[in-house]
Amino acid sequence: MAGALGLASCENYLEEVQSKTQIQAENLSTVAELDILMTGAYAGIARNIAFGGNALIIGETFGDLVGVNNVNYRNNPGRSSRVYTYTHREEDYGFQAEFLQWSTFGLNNANNVLEILRRNQVQTPGETDPRRDIAQQRGRLEGEARFIRAMCVFEQLRLIAYPWGHTPDNNHPGPIAASQSLSTFADLAFPRPSVRVAYDSVLTDLRRAEQLLPENYDPARHLPDYQPRANKYAALALMARVYFQQDNVDSCLAVCNRLLGSGTSNRFPLVAGNQMLSGLFQRTAITPSTNSANRSEVIFELVNVVSRNVQTTNAANLRTHYVLQTAYTPAQLGNVNTLTAGPNLRMSQRFKTLANFDRTRDLRYRTLIDTASAATAATLWNSPNRLWFTRKWGSLGTTSPGVVQGVNTNVVLYRSAEFLLMRAEMRARKNDFAGATTDLNTVRTRAGLPALNTASVVLLDEIRTEMVRELFTEGQRIHDLKRRREAVDPADRATSPAGADCAAGNCQPVPWNSRLTVFLIPQTFLDRNPLAVQND
């Protein structure tokens, strides 16, 4: 159902949507066809230029934890390199346009499902199989569609709207997402909702999704198409992120408790420290814990179903940006600032400082980061000449790698370690220092570090340091800085030749609500929608 679109433009997008909308609206009549439509929505957002790639990369390239590795990436600017150098704002067919194209495709499919359900178009009188009975499946399908819609609108908010708190009433322009399905260009006649209205709509969808979605896939109750998709807990995880982005302490804490379980429990137990690479980032296809009562740390992932949704992989963009495929020669490493081969990005010097790893014990440093590339074997761990590459999105391999090198694997979007740290911060800010320390230590001890008996005065700093260590290159960095209203440090940008990588920001910290970290609305959209306004 996802189809392949040629260009990231409104014209191509709407032509694709129009053909599918006509077929679906006129002929769809069964639960199985509704499930196919939902599979199309997931396949759209899971593409490696949508949630399966671009959204993850944008969240880091705007931030301070990665730096340019391959100078061709800087010297031939395009797409994400312009994000890194803050010269992206005039781009119409680039990194954000690809994301908007496919997130809107998923959103449109979700809106189609909701409209079909509202019209009671699917009728299944006399159906004895509960999996094919619309009365039995209506709530689950509505919950999934609301989850997808909330996911797409929320990510649009984070990328193309000024952040929550930019204006006192949050009445500044929000996403370009439509609340109904689009079939023709005539449908593009709606204003951008305010950030406040958009956040309210996202939370309304997620509250309904939490109520309607089952806790897990049940083969006796659901068709197989549902297995790799979202359940109640995926909706709760996204809801927690939404409240976290608003810095709403009470609501975020309450939702984290519903997600993880209250007290010291964790409904989604962390994988063993020595299995993080295989158990989290090299999962492939449907596993025993995929949307199952047999839960693991993974709450929601973009599942690569072999031969069906080949775009649900971390192949192209994530691998190109992060994965060292061929070992560097000594000659290449003689000047690491002139590398013309290898991935686009590496971990920055600032990341090394902020993470401050215990390199003898921390299993994240030892297993999730490739530190082998250095000018000499004696090069110090924190030298700019010792290169650090994330292994979360693949490992050193050939140019035609298999599953073990991180290609055709699932892309984990929500995992419980993130929400334990989120809850730890919320608990600390509510003066529940014991609860906060318990959550923090759950993540620390899994990584091989000793438990802390942290004094309240430094607890928040410890939690935020742990977030850097745990969540690097998972797409959250810039959004967390905006939430905390903390300026983006220029990091390694200032060390580029003549400061080229930070010229747009004068090599100074970039304010949390700077126009440099907010995309412009694609001009093609504005040309078709006279009611929409541009960001300043």
- Segment 373-384 shows an average pLDDT of 94
Collect contacts of 424-430 with beta carbons under 8 A, ≥24 apart: 424/463, 424/466, 425/460, 425/463, 425/464, 426/249, 426/252, 426/253, 426/256, 427/253, 428/456, 428/459, 428/460, 428/463, 429/249, 429/460, 430/249, 430/250, 430/253
Q: From CA 531, how far away is CA 189, in angstroms rounded?
A: 6
- Residue 324 pLDDT exceeds 50: yes
pLDDT band at 67 (very low <50, low <70, confident <90, very high): very high
Please name which of 398, 408, 230 lies closest in space to residue 318, comparing C-alpha atoms.
408
| Longest Cα–Cα distance in the chain | 75
Question: In this predicted structure, what is the pLDDT of residue 264?
Answer: 77
Q: Is the pLDDT of residue 159 over 60?
A: yes
Model pTM score: 0.93
Comparing CA positions, the residue from 387, 378, 319, 376 lying closest to residue 348 is 387
Selected residue with higher pLDDT from 54 and 11: 54
**What is the pLDDT at residue 456?**
72
Give 372-383 as a DSSP string.
--BSSTT--TTS
* pLDDT at residue 402, rounded to an integer: 59
Band (pLDDT 50/70/90 cuts) for residue 304 is confident
Residue found by looking up tokens 């708190």 in the block: 165
Domains by residue range for the chain, with CATH: 10-269+472-528 (1.25.40.390), 317-400 (no CATH)
> Quick one: average pLDDT of 462-483?
98
pLDDT at 7 over 80: no
Instruction: Write out the DSSP string of 385-431.
Output: TB--EE-TT--S--SS--GGGTSS--EEEEEHHHHHHHHHHHHHHTT
Q: Which of 292-301, 353-362, 406-415 has the lowest mean pLDDT?
A: 406-415
| DSSP line for 451-515 | PP---HHHHHHHHHHHHHHHHTTSS-HHHHHHHTT-PBP-GGGGGSGGGGGGGGGTTSPBPTT-G
Give the number of residues written for the chain.
536
Amino acid letter, residue 115: E
Q: Which among 37-46, 94-103, 193-202 has the top mean pLDDT?
A: 193-202
Amino acid, single-letter form, for residue 197: V
At residue 8 the predicted structure's pLDDT band, cuts being 50, 70 and 90, is very low
- pLDDT of residue 365 exceeding 70, the answer is yes
325 or 493: whose pLDDT is higher? 493
Least confident of 47-56, 190-199, 444-453: 47-56
Helix (H) or strand (E) holding 19: helix 10-27
Between 64-68, 130-134, 307-311, 439-443, the lowest mean confidence (pLDDT) is in 307-311
Which pLDDT band holds residue 151 (cuts at 50, 70, 90)? Answer: very high
The pLDDT of residue 178 is 84
Q: Which of 180, 191, 203, 195 is nearest to 104 (CA)?
A: 180
How many angstroms separate the CA atoms of 113 and 493, rounded? 45
Q: Which residues pair with 298 in a beta bridge?
A: 415
Which residues contact residue 376 at a Cβ distance below 8 angstroms, ignoring those fewer than 6 apart? none
Which pLDDT value is given to residue 16? Answer: 41
> How many other C-beta atoms are found inside a 10 Å radius of the C-beta of residue 300?
23
Where residue 5 falls among pLDDT bands split at 50, 70, 90?
A: very low
Which percentage of the chain shows pLDDT scores above 70?
90
From residue 363, give the alpha-carbon distance in Å to each of 224, 360, 396: 36, 8, 18
pLDDT of res. 11? 42
State the average pLDDT over residues 475-489: 98
What's the number of CA atoms in the CB half-sphere (13 Å) around residue 122?
A: 26
Mean pLDDT check: name the lowest of 79-83, 174-178, 453-457, 481-485.
Answer: 453-457
- Give the whole-angstrom CA distance, residue 417 versus residue 430: 20
Q: What is the mean pLDDT of residues 327-346?
A: 94
Return the pLDDT at 251.
98
Q: Hey, which of 321-335, 421-435, 447-461 has the most confident mean pLDDT?
A: 421-435
Q: Which residues, in sequence order, are bridge partners of residue 346?
A: 67
**The pLDDT of residue 534 is above 70:** yes
Mean pLDDT score, 89-106 = 84
As beta bridge partners, residue 488 has: 510
- Model confidence at 315, pLDDT cuts 50, 70, 90, reads low
Buried b (16+ CB within 10 A) or exposed e, 380-405: eeeebebbbbbbbbbbbbeeebeeeb
